[in-house]
């Protein structure tokens, strides 16, 4: 069934066994798997080419919104293989070829070339622009017939919860207790979030995470929560909100959403580590590694390097070792924490491989060595998923221990009326905190909608919540968030180190934005040559964060790097403006929606 299957799996546990056609070859997988997982399980990590430099690309994250690589599915171009699940007979085509000229001139190409004139002569520039446009690796335009019968579904609710993890489910349960009409939107195939593939007991919870969250899910469904799965919340507009599901294939389903209150419980984003050739296939995030291992029985590799001796990284290493995976943890900190087999004091990493990672060159204090690896997992840092909150108009600020987040109070209210935040999206790091924050947010929404009987329960939960913050050692940073919300005074904290940076200088082969091929060198030049220290200006000058993942993986790293190099507070650099849509949608669907509306 595949070179990287951890164990023999049955159709009962993983769905039906099906066959798909990948570039003319037949591979097998399970109906519970996305195309990305099935290909990875069969040793296929190289899924396409990057937009400007035609470098080999695989997925970095299995999250449906982290669209670092696109493939053709049943003849439909530019489809995300991480959000399309297997059905028998699917035909998948990946891009393998690279133009000869790009192989020769890659080191000389300015990847921000589309965002400024390279030729001063007004007569020659249009010709040069056409040549540049033709050299970019965009999919061939596809012809669509705009249907007047596209099914646009209108959903009305008292409360919409964006995200179906432990925080979102907890919020839904509390809201339903007070008879609110609740709609839960999640881009996964089933509710449960990241806890769904946690086989250990999360801190503060007395049973394995996947067991706990399945019980939450069952209770939410029993209480009558309406669920839209495999559906992405696309954004807020002036008169309504929009969500989109890619199913059915080649058609999709758009939803127009109207609600009195919203809770953002979209969790965190694993930040890519920045090092030489960090874009090679086989370099993935920690969430994807855990999902493949514990949900699909697919090991990320046989010889794995984990970057970051964080709690997340060490828990992942423990999971991998139980499946007989050779695992090493590389960490930037000096000294020995006494936790596991960790190599400390790592200064620089270079990944080596032609079409996927095969080797790591590692430089530490006073020594250099090589590691034979077939997978590198980035677990050095996460950041709250802020895009929906920022797009809605909530105030975003950087708090040193927690990252960029929407400012909120202990009732989980943001600065945007009717918008609440909970769980990883609020900056809290532990599952038990996600659950109690979700409950508080659900009760706060009920109170806002005149369910005054919820106030007493909410007050008791807030007291318990603040006690838990003390217990887990994050009371100070969270209280800082609460104070900033009340006073509107933003912390002026500079950073002395970037946890994701494993480079000694601004390299041309270390990538910050996978979608647009923006390198550390491009980012550094924007700061040192052009003097840009505002992320919005850097975004406009380089195009960073403007492609298929809409900045999900690159904007936070970019803001922190600018602050680090320029000696500024990340709050002075800011986070770039977030606009809808959060993901790309077929233009024919948008056009048809407009026609139906008129």
Which helix (H) or strand (E) segment holds residue 303: the answer is strand 303-307
- Looking at residue 419, what is its pLDDT? 98
CA atoms of 461 and 35, how far apart (whole Å): 42
Element (H or E) spanning 162, and its range? strand 153-162
Alpha helices, H only, 146-244: 166-177, 209-222
The angle at the Cα of 268, spanning 523 to 344, to the nearest 5 degrees, equals: 70
Higher-confidence residue: 354 or 548? Answer: 354
**Integer Cα distance of 542 and 437 in angstroms:** 38
Band of the pLDDT at 340, cuts 50, 70, 90?
A: low
pLDDT given at position 338: 44
How far apart (Å, rounded) are the C-alpha atoms in residues 294 and 308? 20
The mean pLDDT of 217-225, rounded to a whole number, is 98
Q: What is the pLDDT of residue 374?
A: 97
Phi, psi of 147 (to 5 degrees): -85, 140
Cross-strand pairs, 419: 262
pLDDT for 229 beyond 70: yes
**Domains plus CATH for the chain?**
153-269+388-487 (3.50.50.60)
- Average pLDDT on 304-321 reads 94
Cis peptide leading into 346, omega within 30 of 0? no
Which is it for strands 403-406 and 303-307: parallel, antiparallel or unpaired? Answer: unpaired
Nearest to 550 by CA among 575, 524, 520: 575
pLDDT exceeds 80 at position 594: no
pLDDT tens, 129-170?
Answer: 666 666 667 666 666 555 556 678 999 999 999 999 999 999
User: In this predicted structure, what is the pLDDT of residue 597?
Assistant: 44
**Angstrom distance (rounded) from CA 275 to CA 500:** 9
pLDDT at 119 over 60: no
At residue 115, does pLDDT exceed 80? no
Query: pLDDT category, 402, cuts 50, 70, 90?
Result: very high
Query: How many secondary structure helices (H) and strands (E) does the chain include?
Result: 17, 28
Of 259, 204, 577, the residue nearest 390 (C-alpha): 577
d(CA 355, CA 364): 26
The tokens for 594 are: 């407009």
Three-state secondary structure along 499-528?
CCECCCCCCCCEEEECCCCEEHHHHHHHHH
Q: What is the pLDDT of residue 116?
A: 53
pLDDT for residue 120 is more than 90: no
Tell me what pLDDT residue 337 has. Answer: 47
| Dist. CA 475–CA 329, nearest whole Å | 29
Residue 12 clears pLDDT 50, i.e. is over it:
no
- Could you tell me the two tokens for 557? 């790293």
Using the CB atoms, write b or e for 394-406: b if 16+ within 10 Å: bbbbbbeebbbbb
**What is the average per-residue pLDDT within 180-196?**
95
Backbone angles phi, psi at 258, to 5 degrees: -135, 130
Average pLDDT, the chain: 89
Q: Is the pLDDT of residue 496 over 70?
A: yes
DSSP state of 339: S
Percent of the chain with pLDDT over 70: 88
State residue 193's pLDDT score.
94
| DSSP conformation letters of 93-138 | E------HHHHHHGGG--TTGGGS-S---TTTHHHHHHHHHHHS-P
Tell the burial category of 127 from Cβ atoms under 10 Å away from its Cβ (0-12, 13-18, 19+). exposed
Residue 119 CA to chain centroid, in angstroms? Answer: 37
Which three-class secondary structure state does DSSP give residue 229?
Answer: coil
Which residue did the predictor score with more confidence, 507 or 592?
Answer: 507
List, in sequence order, every residue forming a beta bridge with 93; answer none if it has no partner: 72
Q: How confident is the model at residue 15 (pLDDT cuts 50, 70, 90)?
A: confident
Cα torsion 369, 288, 578, 114: sign: positive
SS3 of the chain: helix, strand, coil, percent, to 5:
30, 25, 45
pLDDT confidence band for 10 (50 / 70 / 90): very low
Dump pLDDT digits (tens) for 569-592: 999 999 988 888 887 777 777 776
Per-residue pLDDT of 471-495, as tens digits, reads: 999 999 999 999 999 999 998 999 9
The yes-or-no verdict on residue 529 having pLDDT over 80 is yes
Kind and range of the H or E run holding 388: helix 387-392
Share of the chain above pLDDT 90, in %: 72
Tens of pLDDT, residue by residue over 328-339, are 999 998 865 445
- pLDDT of the residue at 580: 86
pLDDT greater at residue 241 or residue 248: 241
Facing residues of 259 across strands?
157
For 554-564, what is each residue's pLDDT tens digit? 999 999 999 99
For position 11, what pLDDT does the model report? 41
Q: For the segment 268-290, what is each residue's pLDDT rounded down to a tens digit? A: 999 999 999 999 999 999 999 99
Span between the terminal Cα atoms of the chain, in Å:
51
- pTM assigned to the model: 0.92
């Amino acid at each position: 069934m595949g070179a990287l299957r951890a164990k023999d799996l049955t159709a009962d546990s993983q769905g039906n066994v099906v066959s798909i056609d990948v570039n003319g070859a037949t591979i097998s997988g399970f109906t519970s798997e996305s195309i990305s997982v099935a290909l990875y399980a069969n040793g296929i990590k190289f899924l396409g080419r990057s937009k400007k430099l035609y470098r080999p690309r695989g997925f970095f994250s299995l999250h449906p919104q982290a669209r670092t690589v696109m493939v053709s599915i049943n003849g439909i171009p530019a489809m995300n293989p991480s959000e399309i699940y297997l059905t028998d007979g699917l035909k998948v085509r990946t891009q393998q070829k690279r133009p000869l000229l790009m192989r020769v001139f890659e080191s000389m190409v300015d990847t921000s070339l589309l965002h400024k004139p390279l030729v001063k002569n007004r007569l020659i520039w249009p010709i040069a622009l056409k040549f540049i446009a033709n050299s970019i690796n965009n999919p061939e335009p596809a012809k669509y017939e705009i249907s007047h019968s596209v099914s646009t579904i209108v959903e009305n609710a008292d409360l919409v919860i964006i995200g179906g993890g432990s925080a979102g489910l907890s919020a839904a349960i509390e809201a339903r207790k007070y008879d609110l009409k609740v709609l839960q939107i999640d881009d996964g195939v089933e509710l449960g979030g990241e806890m769904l593939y946690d086989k250990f007991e999360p801190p503060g919870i007395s049973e394995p995470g996947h067991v706990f969250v399945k019980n939450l899910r069952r209770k939410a469904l029993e209480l009558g929560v309406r669920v839209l799965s495999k559906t992405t919340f696309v954004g807020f507009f002036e008169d309504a909100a929009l969500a989109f599901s890619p199913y059915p294939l080649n058609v999709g389903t758009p939803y127009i959403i109207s609600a009195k209150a919203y809770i953002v419980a979209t969790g965190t984003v694993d930040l890519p580590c920045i090092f030489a050739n960090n874009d090679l296939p086989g370099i993935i995030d920690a969430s994807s590694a855990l999902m493949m291992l514990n949900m699909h029985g697919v090991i990320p590799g046989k010889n794995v390097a984990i970057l970051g001796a964080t709690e997340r990284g060490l828990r992942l290493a423990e999971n991998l070792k139980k499946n007989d995976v050779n695992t090493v943890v590389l960490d930037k900190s000096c000294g020995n924490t006494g936790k596991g087999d960790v190599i400390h004091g790592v200064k620089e990493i270079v990944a080596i491989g032609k079409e996927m990672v095969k080797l790591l060159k590692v430089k530490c204090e006073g020594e250099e060595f090589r590691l034979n690896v077939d997978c590198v997992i980035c677990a050095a840092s996460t950041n709250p998923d802020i895009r929906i909150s920022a797009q809605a108009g909530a105030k975003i600020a950087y708090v040193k221990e927690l990252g960029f987040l929407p400012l909120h109070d202990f009732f989980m209210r943001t600065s945007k009326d009717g918008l609440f935040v909970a769980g990883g999206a609020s900056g809290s790091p532990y599952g038990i905190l996600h659950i109690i924050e979700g409950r508080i947010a659900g009760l706060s929404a009920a109170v806002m909608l005149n369910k005054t009987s919820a106030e007493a329960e909410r007050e008791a939960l807030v007291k318990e919540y603040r006690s838990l913050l003390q217990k887990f050692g994050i009371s100070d940073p969270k209280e800082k968030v609460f104070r900033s919300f009340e006073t509107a005074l933003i912390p002026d904290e500079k950073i002395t180190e970037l946890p994701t940076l494993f480079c000694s200088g601004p390299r041309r082969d270390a990538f910050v934005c996978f979608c647009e091929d923006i390198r550390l060198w491009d980012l550094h030049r924007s700061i040192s040559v052009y003097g840009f220290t505002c992320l919005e200006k850097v975004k406009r000058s380089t195009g960073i964060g403007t492609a298929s993942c809409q900045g999900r993986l690159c904007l936070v790293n970019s803001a922190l790097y600018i602050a680090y190099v320029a000696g500024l507070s990340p709050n002075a650099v800011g986070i770039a403006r977030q606009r809808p849509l959060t993901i790309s949608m077929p233009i024919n669907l948008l056009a048809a929606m407009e026609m139906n509306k008129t």
